Structure 1
Amino acid sequence: MAVGAVGGLDWLVRGSDLPALVEDGTGQGQAALAAGLGLLAQRDLSFSQMLKVDRQLRSLGQDGLERGGLAPLRLAVLGSASLDHLLPGLRVAGVRHGFALEIFRGEYGQYWHEIMDADGPLRAFAPDAVLLALDAGHLVGEGVDPAGEVRLEETFARLREGWATLIGATGAQVIQQAALPRLPALMGGNEHRLAGSPAHLVAAFNRRLRGEADAAGVDVLALDEAAAADGLAVWHDRVLWLKARQEVSPLAAQHYGELAMRLVAARRGRSAKCLVLDLDNTLWGGVIGDDGLEGIALGQGSPEGEAFLAFQRHVLGLMERGVILAVCSKNDEANALLPFEKHPDMLLRREHITAFLANWDDKATNLRRIAERIGIGLDALVFVDDNPFERELVRQTLPMVRVPEMPEDAAFYAERLARAGYFEALALTQEDAGRTALYAARAAREAARAQATDLGAYLAGLDMVLEWQRVDSLGLARAAQLTAKTNQFNLTTRRYTQAQLAALIDDPHALVLQFRLRDRYGDNGVIAIVVATPGADETDVLVLDAWLMSCRVLGRGVEAACLAVLAQAARAMGARALDGLYLPSGRNGMVRDHYAGLGFARLAGAGEEAAGATRWRFDLAGRDGAAELAGAIRIVPEPGA
């Protein structure tokens, strides 16, 4: 479905019944507001509904939205054309992704001055993210230009300078909008043969943009791909461009906001991690318990069977890039396993499924079990089911689980899931590709732990080895990804771009460490990142600006082993103490007592600005106790040491 006048977020439920968002300051009012915001997150709104909801959001104000459970986020939108009509779609999409947006709207065509003005309002706004929305004509020109390739070089040189200035001055996530391919072709299918053709230059700009953005640590808002999928007329209204310089049509504002906020959410670790699948009429046609192995529709030879095969191929591709797979089916387990084990055309096999639940319990209950078994939050799940009753039951019972509306024809399953963007990713690391194996090994560890009667013996039997090293250029992408995605075991929830981490790596007074844990079940991958910098007033004290760790290794003494490494590395740098910060985020309450448990002493009156923030000190003189706390974990020296 195209975005058009009907909204076009076709993986969401049509928004026929919208709540009145009211926040009266009481606990009951806040709960009702949170429920209303949760309902909005699942609704595909018409254009008029979007505007109505936006008015409600603005009337609630930033404080009201935060009391409704949304995370504050400052977004600057800068551009070369009109921007006001895009802001409602951004605010509404922000709610869908869990953010209360405070938006700085740049003045018409003044983006360069705003970027470069060190004392201007943009710097004072201190954005968390900056969206650069530059129109196609501004980037490449509106007419034929024989020197167009030279102009393109100048455009990218200017963009690189602007990106670097924004990242260096604000530390914000920078999102560069791709050029909308709105300039008409002059030679049809042979446009590349006309030197300086505007349409050809737009295509050349978009091809080059991806590499330039990757090198600069910038994310791309892929308007070119969206226009190719939906049709240019959905995204661009020539009359509105000429009358009001609105390059993106107001009717596409909600989808525009959705695409932008996916990037913001992915940078902050809010993309889904696990795809939970129903079986009958979802992975194959028919009911395995009634139709038998020979009677289900799957595989080549029929359009229906090939449609389910294509969906399985898409699901398998998601698994191979790091999405965890699970099954949640109302079925006898023996029947449910038959196609995985014996159907010759079944692409998905039992070993691909990290958690397999087939029983007659309600699906909300089984989804809770799946999240617990895998060790992730319910908000990391995407549940795909062909049955509208089951979908709505899960939405009502577990509103944090993402549940796409599925089309009636399985031929469109893969397209619908892809359009929903639940698994938006900004980079792919080696650990991503091996995530299924990581979580399968975790399940095996937990099964062994459940059978063990002596925790100490169990931990000793894991044969754990902690490997560590300073983050280098090879580990930069994974380190930045972990700072973005880790929310629970994250003492400060500070996010770092690759460029920011690269600067810290080059700083001889800073310490950026990564930790990897192996055991007899396999490699857990990189499980922790620590960033330490000299104190502002005490340069012989290293301040732990970030300490984050994968929840899958909790309860094994890894925290103390990491502290032993930190203490050793800090002493080698001449530090006399480590200072740890705890900044509450609403999602990291589990680590409130982290430093106390490791023997840090609280510094009275030394908290940060945030309510509930605390500061802790670990004196290094004569302290080797952390190494003893590591217990069953063997620490491997830094490579090259």
Structure 2
Amino acid sequence: MLSWLPEHRDAGACLRQAQAAGDGPTMLATARMLAGHRRDAQFTNRIDRLARAALAATPTPALAEARVAILSSHTIDHLVPAVRVAGLHRGMVIEVHAGDYGQFRSPMIMGCPWIERFAPHMILFAIDLPALLEPIPLSAGRDAVETSLAHIMEELRQLWSLARERFGAQPVQQTFLPQASPLLGSNEALLPASPWSCCARLNDLLRQASQQGEVLLLDVANQLPGIGEGRLYDEVRWYQAKQLVNPLVAPAYGELVARLAAAVIGRSRKSLVLDLDNTLWGGVVGDDGVENLRLGQGSAEGEAYIAFQRYVARLAERGIIIAVCSKNDHATARSVFDRHPDMQIAFDDIACFVANWADKASNLRHIARTLNIGLDSMVFVDDNPAEREIIRRELPEVAVPELPEDPAGYMQCIADGGYFESLGLTSEDLARSGDYTANNQRAAVRASTTDMDGYLQSLDMTLTAGPISSFDRSRAAQLINKSNQFNLTTRRRTADELHPLLEDARNVILAFRLRDRFGDNGLISVIVARPDAAWSGGELLIDTWLMSCRVLGRGVELAALCALRSAAVQAGATALIGEYRPSGRNGMVEAHYEKLGFERIAADTPGEETFWRMSLQDGQVARHHLKLELTI
């Protein structure tokens, strides 16, 4: 089970030792560590009990929080511990609230006090097909079947819409599992009214709805059979306990839910960092030479490495940042990219290339600093078990998949790990890898320049500020939900939740795009300023201010403040109120408002947040080196 995770030599003894200690932080650290190892359903439940005891003794752990409500037509309680443990593996405390058995309609339609109090980030609809679809005669034609399935889709769309509008949650729909065996075998599609065909067709309609942004999918029908053990659907379990998902595959199910929860709260990984020798190609280039590496057609191993490189290139194409961390001579390692005809990854596709003889933990820290990302955004791939173990020990924030011995399994191992779960794909995602490569070029210019002002001027930067257009709404929501470090309040909002804010003429909402002589960085910052009852009518509260970390250190925040001041004055505001809410990950902006010239003010509201004021009737923003284009 969970083959991409390493095995623990004595997990049971480790768990018992933590239980005996009875210390909250120790128990939680042990639970997190064990959650990152292979585990069956029984041991997963033991880890969950340890974690629940630890959290009861440690009420405010320094972990991200995700709240998941599950509305199901079948028994789901046996899967909840696995969801929580999979969340720990990803650095999250996932609170799960499962609704009453069979109650998935009425909480949405009639309202539900417990969901309102729980305030879930996402609502998962786990529904079996018999709960929605009456049996259809096998003689029914395709049109009749399509009509019945259209009614089901209309009902599901209503539930998704209510999840957003009534509870402000991201709806997630579990795909349907075929509970009936095929009647015609391989040619089941000839019977459009058969239960098996109806299930397959309804899943196709769900995927179309997902492509159109109506809902996120928990695609158990496609993904669980590949990463579980035992039968996904067991008739005995169904008839005895109405368990649609076999308890034996609970750990794999929990992983799927936790991945989506991580994506919803912005905890998906961003970067794939690769070793070279025996990871991207077979052999050691320093010993074997470029000509003798095992890479290319004609051998099973060489073809496996080509397939893996193509997979990496596709990840880069969809926006994953590719980096290299190798113990190697730099020039020798690079020569493979320059000379080998079968390389599928170009050197220019790599955002940060580190090949030296330093320890890899130090090099990974360097790569994180260079790319302006956190260690918890990285996945490190290395064929060497010793190197993997060192990184897991030294940098537990970094995800390290347990690669199989055969390179033919590398792709599936990374895919099964689900590190790069995404809520959608934008044009900025597709351009992200090139953005980070351009950032390295900027860094090279900076390294050769001793005059910071001269360096910033040489970038020839232009910041465009204006309302969030319909084209930018998805990317803006993505930034709001993923940005953790340069994020003053870490308030999360979906694209649908942004809509009423955008429609309110009293609000000042700006999206910022940055371009320079190396390229277009796309949408890099969002500011939401709105009236608030806690402040006077002439003041706007800066509800949200976030910025992509890849543009730090260029004075963008100064130029953004200029744009915000202009827009606020135009809206009739007399002052701006800045709010900083510490999240455990945004300490880098604790002094943000102070640096910009805001004055700290006392607030009546309790809590750790601080408030800052800047009058719009006087004062000037410090000089910056950006050309500012306002489209308000």
Q: TM-score, normalised by structure 2?
A: 0.94
The match for 1:79 is: 72
Q: Could you say if the C-alpha distance between residues 590 and 217 of structure 1 is closer, same or farther in structure 2, counting changes exceeding 3 Å?
A: farther
The match for 2:15 is: 20
Q: Could you say if the C-alpha distance between residues 270 and 73 of structure 1 is closer, same or farther in structure 2, counting changes exceeding 3 Å?
A: closer
Gaps of 5+ in 2: none
The amino acid of 2:312's aligned partner reads V
CA offset at residue 241 of structure 1? 0.4
CA offset at residue 226 of structure 1? 1.7
The match for 1:617 is: 613
Give the alignment partner of residue 94 of structure 1, picking from 87, 90, 102.
87
The match for 1:604 is: 602
Q: Could you say if the C-alpha distance between residues 472 and 62 of structure 1 is closer, same or farther in structure 2, counting changes exceeding 3 Å?
A: farther
Check the 8 A contact 2:31/2:50 in 1, yes or no.
Answer: no
Taking the aligned partners of 1:393 and 1:144, their CA distance within structure 2 comes to 61
User: C-alpha deviations, 1:5-55, integer Å up to 9, x for none?
Assistant: xxx21100124433338999x9x9565345424412421112221111111
Check the 8 A contact 2:23/2:54 in 1, yes or no.
Answer: no
The match for 1:360 is: 357
User: C-alpha deviations, 1:597-621, integer Å up to 9, x for none?
Assistant: 22222231244x5x32012222222
The amino acid of 2:330's aligned partner reads E
Give the alignment partner of residue 46 of structure 2, picking from 39, 43, 52.
52
The match for 1:571 is: 569
Task: Tell whether 2:122 aligns with 1:129.
Answer: yes
User: C-alpha deviations, 1:56-102, integer Å up to 9, x for none?
Assistant: 122223562642x3223322111000011111111111111222122
User: C-alpha deviations, 1:91-127, integer Å up to 9, x for none?
Assistant: 1111112221222120001121222333522222222
CA offset at residue 503 of structure 1? 2.6
Q: Could you say if the C-alpha distance between residues 62 and 546 of structure 1 is closer, same or farther in structure 2, counting changes exceeding 3 Å?
A: farther
The amino acid of 1:615's aligned partner reads F
Map 1:403-552 to 2 at 5 A.
403-536=400-533, 538-552=536-550
Check the 8 A contact 1:163/1:216 in 2, yes or no.
Answer: no
CA offset at residue 168 of structure 1? 1.3
Give the alignment partner of residue 169 of structure 2, picking from 172, 197, 212.
172
CA offset at residue 189 of structure 1? 2.8
Give the alignment partner of residue 217 of structure 2, picking from 215, 220, 223.
220
Task: Tell whether 2:277 aligns with 1:280.
Answer: yes
Give the alignment partner of residue 191 of structure 1, picking from 188, 192, 197.
188
User: C-alpha deviations, 1:483-509, integer Å up to 9, x for none?
Assistant: 111000001111111111123222222
Check the 8 A contact 2:233/2:245 in 1, yes or no.
Answer: yes
Q: Could you say if the C-alpha distance between residues 191 and 503 of structure 1 is closer, same or farther in structure 2, counting changes exceeding 3 Å?
A: farther
Map 1:257-336 to 2 at 5 A.
257-336=254-333
The amino acid of 1:226's aligned partner reads Q
Check the 8 A contact 1:516/1:528 in 2, yes or no.
Answer: yes
The amino acid of 1:612's aligned partner reads E
Taking the aligned partners of 1:63 and 1:476, their CA distance within structure 2 comes to 41
Check the 8 A contact 1:21/1:37 in 2, yes or no.
Answer: no
User: C-alpha deviations, 1:558-614, integer Å up to 9, x for none?
Assistant: 11211111111112222222222211111011111111222222231244x5x3201
Taking the aligned partners of 1:470 and 1:306, their CA distance within structure 2 comes to 49
SS class of match (1:89): helix
Give the alignment partner of residue 111 of structure 1, picking from 104, 111, 116.
104
Check the 8 A contact 1:286/1:297 in 2, yes or no.
Answer: yes
Gaps of 5+ in 1: 1-7
SS class of match (2:289): helix
Q: Could you say if the C-alpha distance between residues 231 and 184 of structure 1 is closer, same or farther in structure 2, counting changes exceeding 3 Å?
A: farther
The amino acid of 1:20's aligned partner reads L
Check the 8 A contact 2:290/2:340 in 1, yes or no.
Answer: yes
CA offset at residue 321 of structure 1? 0.9
CA offset at residue 362 of structure 1? 1.6
Taking the aligned partners of 1:562 and 1:22, their CA distance within structure 2 comes to 53
CA offset at residue 386 of structure 1? 0.9
Taking the aligned partners of 1:103 and 1:470, their CA distance within structure 2 comes to 36
Q: Could you say if the C-alpha distance between residues 254 and 561 of structure 1 is closer, same or farther in structure 2, counting changes exceeding 3 Å?
A: same
Greater mean alpha carbon deviation, residues 87-96 or residues 215-224: 215-224
The amino acid of 1:327's aligned partner reads V
Check the 8 A contact 1:517/1:527 in 2, yes or no.
Answer: yes
The amino acid of 1:295's aligned partner reads N
The match for 1:201 is: 198
Task: Tell whether 2:242 aligns with 1:245.
Answer: yes
The amino acid of 1:87's aligned partner reads V
Taking the aligned partners of 1:114 and 1:42, their CA distance within structure 2 comes to 35
Taking the aligned partners of 2:516 and 2:96, their CA distance within structure 1 comes to 47
Taking the aligned partners of 2:55 and 2:363, their CA distance within structure 1 comes to 38
Q: Could you say if the C-alpha distance between residues 202 and 233 of structure 1 is closer, same or farther in structure 2, counting changes exceeding 3 Å?
A: farther
Q: Could you say if the C-alpha distance between residues 583 and 113 of structure 1 is closer, same or farther in structure 2, counting changes exceeding 3 Å?
A: same
Check the 8 A contact 1:21/1:36 in 2, yes or no.
Answer: no
CA offset at residue 635 of structure 1? 0.5
Give the alignment partner of residue 40 of structure 1, picking from 23, 29, 34.
34
Check the 8 A contact 1:465/1:636 in 2, yes or no.
Answer: yes
Check the 8 A contact 1:473/1:502 in 2, yes or no.
Answer: no
CA offset at residue 449 of structure 1? 2.0
Give the alignment partner of residue 392 of structure 2, picking from 382, 392, 395.
395
Q: Could you say if the C-alpha distance between residues 84 and 231 of structure 1 is closer, same or farther in structure 2, counting changes exceeding 3 Å?
A: closer
Taking the aligned partners of 2:231 and 2:60, their CA distance within structure 1 comes to 34
Check the 8 A contact 1:530/1:548 in 2, yes or no.
Answer: yes
Q: Could you say if the C-alpha distance between residues 269 and 22 of structure 1 is closer, same or farther in structure 2, counting changes exceeding 3 Å?
A: farther
The amino acid of 1:574's aligned partner reads G
The amino acid of 2:630's aligned partner reads P
User: C-alpha deviations, 1:142-193, integer Å up to 9, x for none?
Assistant: 5647444333222222211111111112212221111112322222233333
SS class of match (1:546): strand
CA offset at residue 408 of structure 1? 0.8
Greater mean alpha carbon deviation, residues 502-511 or residues 586-595: 502-511
Q: Could you say if the C-alpha distance between residues 601 and 371 of structure 1 is closer, same or farther in structure 2, counting changes exceeding 3 Å?
A: same
The amino acid of 2:376's aligned partner reads D
CA offset at residue 247 of structure 1? 0.2
The match for 1:3 is: none
Check the 8 A contact 1:80/1:108 in 2, yes or no.
Answer: yes
The amino acid of 1:45's aligned partner reads R
User: C-alpha deviations, 1:508-538, integer Å up to 9, x for none?
Assistant: 2223211011222222221101122221254
Taking the aligned partners of 1:137 and 1:227, their CA distance within structure 2 comes to 20
CA offset at residue 280 of structure 1? 1.2
The match for 1:4 is: none
The amino acid of 2:566's aligned partner reads Q
Check the 8 A contact 2:41/2:82 in 1, yes or no.
Answer: no
The amino acid of 1:616's aligned partner reads W
Q: Could you say if the C-alpha distance between residues 173 and 596 of structure 1 is closer, same or farther in structure 2, counting changes exceeding 3 Å?
A: same
SS class of match (1:72): strand
User: C-alpha deviations, 1:386-422, integer Å up to 9, x for none?
Assistant: 1111111111111111100011111111111111111
Taking the aligned partners of 1:316 and 1:235, their CA distance within structure 2 comes to 32
The amino acid of 1:467's aligned partner reads T
Task: Tell whether 2:161 aligns with 1:161.
Answer: no
User: C-alpha deviations, 1:275-333, integer Å up to 9, x for none?
Assistant: 11111111111111121122111001111110111111101111111111111112222
